[in-house]
Amino acid sequence: MRRGKPSCHAAFGEAVALLAGDGLLTKAFEVIAQHSVLPAAQTVLAIQMLADAAGHCGMIGGQRLDLENERMQAPIERVEQTNRLKTGALIAAAVKLGCLAADADEQTMQLADVYAQNIGMAFQITDDILDCTSSEEVLGKPIGSDAQNDKTTYVSVYGIDRAWEIAAEKIELAKRSLDRMDCCRTSQDGTFLYDLAEFILSRKN
């Protein structure tokens, strides 16, 4: 179950689900290539950034680590690496692509990456917590899967209370990076980024 509905593989079969994933992944590059209004060099760079984040050194690599973690007692450093790739890579790519489109300078790009990496880590930690504390009706997917698979998470290592504290620390680091970005101090877009960071700590699903 995802978002209260059967997952694609449950509703349509594993083969169709795999094809759907392949189709959606390649669709992203199609959209950039066909609809970008950026100069050609920036468009190519955008495609490269997204490919790096989605591929074996990013999301797919993180998903592979996540599967392996279900069969071992992973050290917390490995869990952090998994989360940085599986969850953080595409969030970071989204933020950096926005910076690229806005022709941001290198310092802004680096600060945006710090913001994205921290909200990505906080998102995954809160996901671990919700897997232990929420209900299937609220979360929209089965709960308790981490414990059932004996998977190492922030909750299994630190406990729920400390995991919450770590997530809050990550959000504070994210907001501090925004404080250092001139474009975020007064603009409406900056307010949205602050609100997005706060939402991660209060989300229910």
What would the DSSP string read from start to end of 141-167? S-S-HHHHTT---HHHHH-HHHHHHHH
Q: What's at 78, amino acid-wise?
A: R
Q: Which helix (H) or strand (E) segment is 6 a member of?
A: none
Q: How many C-beta atoms surround the C-beta of residue 201 within 10 A?
A: 16
State the angle between helix axes of 88-101 and 76-86 in degrees (0 to 180), rounded to the nearest 10: 40
- Position 92 scores a pLDDT of 93
Q: Which long-range contacts (C-beta less than 8 Å, at least 24 apart) are formed by 98-102?
A: 100/38, 100/42, 100/45, 100/46, 100/49, 101/38, 101/42, 101/46, 102/183
Residue 150 has pLDDT above 80, yes or no: no
Output the pLDDT for position 183: 74
Q: How far apart are CA 192 and CA 59, in angstroms?
A: 25
Domains and CATH numbers, the chain: 1-35 (no CATH), 39-202 (1.10.600.10)
- As beta bridge partners, residue 56 has none
> Which tokens hold the place of 37?
């209004």
What's the whole-number mean pLDDT along residues 11-26?
A: 95
Taking the model in full, what pTM does it have? 0.86
Reported as a single tens digit per residue, the pLDDT across 105-149 is 999 999 999 999 999 999 999 988 998 886 666 666 666 566 666
Percent of the chain with pLDDT over 70: 90
Q: What is the pLDDT of residue 190?
A: 76
pLDDT of residue 199: 94
For 25-81, the pLDDT digits (tens) are: 999 999 999 999 999 999 999 999 999 999 999 999 999 998 888 877 889 899 999
pLDDT of residue 141: 65
pLDDT at 93: 94
